[in-house]
Amino acid sequence: MELMNGGQLTQLIKERKNKDSKFTDEEASKIMRGILQAVSYIHSKSIVHRDLKPDNILVGDHNDLSTIKLADFGLSAKYDHASFATEC
């Protein structure tokens, strides 16, 4: 398992709030890009996370917010693209 020294996104948000320091647009964009890339990847593998929240998003380094990983796949599920498309 990869070591993510930055901890959970929840912790980073709390630290920023305590310092009265908001994320810049660029920082928020890097975080969201990492989350969306991770979700896109697991969807390409027919997996749905089903529990996305800041507690389940890990940051590799506070100085490099592009190092985002998804964690806790306990509620995740595999799905069939064909049956999912017909239900929508």
Q: Annotated catalytic sites, by residue? A: 51
- Report the alpha-carbon distance of residue 36 to residue 59 in Å, rounded: 14
The CA-atom distances, in angstroms, between 7 and each of 14, 41, 78 are: 12, 21, 27
The CA-atom distances, in angstroms, between 84 and each of 38, 46, 50 are: 20, 10, 15
* Sign of the four-CA dihedral 49, 68, 53, 87: negative
